[in-house]
Amino acid sequence: MNLPFRILGVHHIGLAPKTPTATQRFFSLLGLSAEVPEAVVSQKVVCTQFHATSTLTSSHSLLEILEPTSEDSPISKFLSERKGGIHHLALEVDDIHAAVAYLRGKQVAFLSETPTSGSHGTQVIFVHPRDAGGLLIELVQQG
């Protein structure tokens, strides 16, 4: 298909564990290294991204541990409704604005008007779960 953007792969999987320190310990036991934790103000979370490979030799996905920084964070709501789990799947796109315009034209809704700042200089936007079978899908463009 000739689309005005390309999906480059799975950028990260967003995880909302009940006990983030236990998940971080487990990932460390696997030999996975973490980036410095970063506050993402727009999402009211602190996120700690682990590289999902021990080799760091090729492009690879990240495992993003999300911790709420306030009671009205989307992650607080998520954790109050279940025991923790996989929160979202982030797909990398080469042109997030083109992707949003194209998908809006196909009646796909988003949780914000425009992309916002994600972690590590990325631009991100979330698709409304209603339009993705109840899943939360994030589109990410590298800065």
Gap between the Cα atoms of 25 and 14, Å rounded = 17
- Stretches 18-26, 32-40, 73-81, 130-138: which one binds Co ion (CB under 5 A)? 130-138
Q: What is the DSSP string of 56-96?
A: --S---EEEEEEESSTTSHHHHHHHHSS-EEEEEEEEES-H
14 binds Co ion (CB under 5 A): yes
The nearer residue to Co ion, 88 or 105, going by C-beta atoms, is 88
The nearer residue to Co ion, 92 or 138, going by C-beta atoms, is 138
90 binds Co ion (CB under 5 A): yes
Q: Going by DSSP bridges, is the β-strand pair 85-93/116-117 parallel, antiparallel, or unpaired?
A: unpaired
Rounded least distance, CB 28 to Co ion, Å: 20
Q: Residue numbers of the site for Co ion (CB under 5 A)?
A: 14, 90, 138
